[in-house]
Chains A and B, each alone.
Chain A
């Protein structure tokens, strides 16, 4: 059970943070369909940073510091990459779906091009590095605390620094968008930019803010994904997590609480599909692996999260409401 919850948390965090990234962009009025691409871009630069740092024994010994630096760099590169989208969507008033699609194509192209050019292979893997004492150290950023009580274990054993940072950021940014002046202005630009402009809000600035925060979060999420879920391998793909996060965002009705619920539900079901063979209940001292005994192929369990989202959406969509001005370039003259 502890194992299940630990795994769920690991699956949930990238979805959570990237869905929040999508929310920030869309609440400011820019559809960020490029989340997947930004994740790929950020994950590559995070991995590259970790790879370079790990040449030095100091950073191999101080694993968490390496992780932290790589995370920050991933976020920064994601933010910079997202400027391409902001520029086309805000300054040039281009179609945001096209701009986003272009970024989704561009990110794997650039990363794979560079990986193949400099490393002569198709994926950048975080391999074992030599520590300060001359001994090889495996790649991995998990913090181990095995002698804790069960509740503590869920959060603090086999945990990642990124999990706490992500949860902290999530709370901070959720408060920011609802309880501060800047947050209110940002949301206003996503609902009715002309009205926002009429009271002196700089719409373009707010939209830049929204997409840049979005880019930073997506880059961060991308690196978290490859460092915690994908064995530290940057291979020009994040298995469609960016698109899934987009779905979670819509599922969560463009609200932080909904997103958190959606990400948890999805993360849990996704996790179930990975470890269903190990789930058991003890009856009379005998362990029964009831899901494994059903003899259904894993594909069945793989489908469950997606089907569950569809079913929930079918029942809840009547209340669904996207930001009114999302996807529409801001035109000063329009009423």
Chain B
């Protein structure tokens, strides 16, 4: 073997890493999504006389500049602060979906787990007396209560899957709607509901009981925004999960279960227990995201929720998919999704378009990310052409089933 590698070879070696190829595939998807979004706006400009081409160009630029397209500097900091705050629950639901995916399960039950988490956190945060118990202890208890409730809720699909072999998708959908009704029922006619006429649809803010997530001065930097340390907490959780999945026996067992349930059973792993625990963790994560959101102290939680499920739960799916289910990647994909979201929100003020453009772009990005294996294989093939020597090792990697 030669010691000195040319620059091209170094690049090839770099690109050959699985993680790098995933990132490249995601970037291609993102570019594709933005391109399609732009084409849609251009088509509108071509066929609708009210819309000009320059408006289409302006529109797509506003979306991809995210919170930076907000006009004034103050407004920009405000939007960035909110973006960072709102990313935290999304990171958690994204992790929830990603962990379940790694175990071969599709956790479409995140909305229900999210609702249960919000309920648990709100009930504890609003009912424990903060004049006798320090508010930070109440905060921790509330977070734990919400998380625990989510774990229990997530365990239901896990239990049905493991012991009755019922498809987890169907149980997740059922538990979502059951959760939506349970939450409404629990809050019906209670003191938790806000009293003023206009706010009757919402639960009291936790700050009314003096319970709120620590801000550490972050709300001073991003003035007027909801910014607190929840994103830091979510990122730490993501790192912990990354270590768990990649460096521990338990994580290995979960992944093995995801690759082939029967093989993992044959290898002596308790696959039923693994499915149950994996879904519990997924439920706990989604619920913890909700708890972080309500414990911010300034958020309005709509209690009479039996007709609809929280979008935040479903949005965990694109966050996980865009990150190829990598826990660390989920942090960045969530931030990116919220970034686009903020850009979209700025659209209607400055162009004839509306905020749904950013949703459209996200949808197309996810559509393209489905082809990521194709992109990766294409990349691998190209490298194989360049370097015939390493062809075999590449094939082994490229052909790996997911």
The yes or no verdict on A and B being binding partners is yes
CB distance from A267 to the nearest CB of B (A): 15
Q: Is the CB of B363 within 8 A of A247?
A: no
Once the chains are docked, how many angstroms separate the CA of A303 from the CA of B175?
9
- Chain B residues near A297: list those with CB within 8 A: 185, 188
Once the chains are docked, how many angstroms separate the CA of A314 from the CA of B166?
7
8 A Cβ contacts from B340-367 to A: 352-354, 356-357, 359-360, 362-364, 366-367
Give how many B residues have a beta carbon under 8 Å from the other chain's beta carbons.
Answer: 47
Q: Is the CB of A106 within 8 A of B353?
A: no
- Chain B residues near A62: list those with CB within 8 A: none
Interface-forming stretch among B122-130, B242-250, B369-377?
Answer: B369-377
Q: Is the CB of B360 within 8 A of A310?
A: no
Q: Is the CB of A251 within 8 A of B170?
A: yes
Once the chains are docked, how many angstroms separate the CA of A310 from the CA of B164?
11
Q: Is the CB of A105 within 8 A of B359?
A: yes
Contact code string B56-70 (vs A, CB < 8 Å = 1, else 0): 000000000000000
CB distance from B102 to the nearest CB of A (A): 14
8 A Cβ contacts from A290-335 to B: 297-300, 302-303, 306-307, 309-310, 313-314, 317-318, 320, 322
Q: Is the CB of A243 within 8 A of B164?
A: no
A277 interface residue per 8 A CB criterion: no
Tally A-B pairs: CB < 8 A: 138
8 A Cβ contacts from B50-106 to A: 106
Known A-B contacts A92-B371, A95-B373, A246-B173; A313 and B160 likewise in contact (beta carbons under 8 Å): yes
B207 interface residue per 8 A CB criterion: no
**Which of B174, B181, B367 is the one whose CB lies under 8 Å from A302?**
B181
Q: Is the CB of A117 within 8 A of B173?
A: no
- Chain B residues near A306: list those with CB within 8 A: 174-175, 177-178
Once the chains are docked, how many angstroms separate the CA of A309 from the CA of B363?
31
Contact code string B296-307 (vs A, CB < 8 Å = 1, else 0): 000000000011
- Chain A residues near B357: list those with CB within 8 A: 113
**Which of B171, B360, B362 is the one whose CB lies under 8 Å from A313?**
B171
8 A Cβ contacts from A120-139 to B: none
- Chain A residues near B360: list those with CB within 8 A: 106, 109-110, 113
A239 interface residue per 8 A CB criterion: yes
Closest B-chain residue to A306, C-beta based?
A: B174
B165 interface residue per 8 A CB criterion: yes
Closest A-chain residue to B318, C-beta based?
A: A105
Contact code string B150-170 (vs A, CB < 8 Å = 1, else 0): 000000000010001111011
8 A Cβ contacts from A170-224 to B: none
Q: Is the CB of B321 within 8 A of A300?
A: no
CB distance from A303 to the nearest CB of B (A): 5
Known A-B contacts A247-B173, A247-B174, A299-B185; A105 and B354 likewise in contact (beta carbons under 8 Å): no
CB distance from B277 to the nearest CB of A (A): 20
Known A-B contacts A105-B366, A113-B357; A299 and B318 likewise in contact (beta carbons under 8 Å): no
Closest A-chain residue to B186, C-beta based?
A: A299
- Chain A residues near B369: list those with CB within 8 A: 98, 102
B108 interface residue per 8 A CB criterion: yes
CB distance from B304 to the nearest CB of A (A): 9
Once the chains are docked, how many angstroms separate the CA of A94 from the CA of B356?
25
Once the chains are docked, how many angstroms separate the CA of A105 from the CA of B176?
18
- Chain B residues near A88: list those with CB within 8 A: 367, 370-371
- Chain A residues near B185: list those with CB within 8 A: 297, 299-300
- Chain A residues near B321: list those with CB within 8 A: 98, 101
Closest A-chain residue to B97, C-beta based?
A: A101
Residue among A97, A117, A307 with the highest chain B CB neighbour number at 10 A: A117
Q: Is the CB of A84 within 8 A of B367?
A: yes
Contact code string B135-157 (vs A, CB < 8 Å = 1, else 0): 00000000000000000000000
- Chain B residues near A310: list those with CB within 8 A: 160, 171, 174
Once the chains are docked, how many angstroms separate the CA of A149 from the CA of B341?
56
Q: Is the CB of A101 within 8 A of B354?
A: no
- Chain B residues near A303: list those with CB within 8 A: 177-178, 181-182
8 A Cβ contacts from A239-262 to B: 239-240, 243-244, 246-247, 250-251
Closest A-chain residue to B317, C-beta based?
A: A101
B23 interface residue per 8 A CB criterion: no
Contact code string B220-257 (vs A, CB < 8 Å = 1, else 0): 00000000000000000000000000000000000000
B209 interface residue per 8 A CB criterion: no
B309 interface residue per 8 A CB criterion: yes
Q: Is the CB of B166 within 8 A of A320?
A: yes
CB distance from A314 to the nearest CB of B (A): 5
- Contacts beyond the supplied A98-B321, A106-B363, A113-B356: 10 A-B pairs with Cβ under 8 Å: A88-B370, A93-B374, A95-B373, A101-B321, A113-B354, A298-B306, A300-B181, A309-B174, A317-B166, A320-B166
- 15 A-B contacts (beta carbon < 8 Å): A94-B371, A98-B366, A102-B363, A102-B369, A110-B360, A113-B360, A239-B307, A246-B173, A298-B306, A302-B177, A303-B181, A306-B177, A313-B170, A314-B166, A317-B164
